[in-house]
Amino acid sequence: MERIVICRCEDITEDEVLAAIHNGATTMEELKRVLRVGMGPCQGRTCGPLIRSMLARELGEPVHAIREWSRRPPLKPVPAGTFFRGEES
């Protein structure tokens, strides 16, 4: 069977996302927490829109009705050292 990867960072497939939705997930937030989609280095830039449209399709709602997941700082990967450079080391 064809293996369609939805979240490349965490290697989560379309089947896994669909299974979670069919298991009762109704929000992007829940899918993210349960599957870790969108939790890798790209922070959901790639899979976010895909998952949003999958969720809309499965729930029979328009895409704009699906709330996006929360964006968490620092938004892109930042080395720990960068945060305190100039303060103390």
Partner 1 sequence: MSVLTCDVAVIGAGIIGTATARYLSARGSDVVVIDRSYMGSGSTGRCIGGLRHQFSTAPSIRLMKESIRIFSQMEDEFGHSVEFHQGGYLLLAHDNDMADTFRANIRIQRAEGVNVSLLDPVEIHSLVPELNIHGVVAGAWCPDDGQAFPFAVLKGFRSLIEKAGGRFLLRNPVKEIRRPSHFELILADGTRVEAPQVLLAAGPWTRELALPIGLDLPLAPERHEAMITERMPRFLEPMLVDYRPDGCYFQQMLTGQVIGCYTPVPTVPGIREDISFEFLPQLAWRMTRLVPPLRNAAILRHWAGCYTMTPDGNPILDRTPVDGLFVASGMCGHGFMFGPAMGRHMADFILDGEWGMDFSEFALDRDFSPGAETLK
- Residue 34 interacts with partner 1 (CB under 8 A)? yes
Q: Is 81 in the site for partner 1 (CB under 8 A)?
A: yes
For partner 1, which stretch binds (CB under 8 A), given 35-43, 45-53, 58-66?
35-43
First to last CA, the chain: 52
- As a whole number of angstroms, the distance between CA 69 and CA 83 comes to 25
The residues that touch partner 1, with contacts defined as CB under 8 A, are 24-27, 29-30, 33-34, 39-41, 43, 72-74, 77-84, 87-89
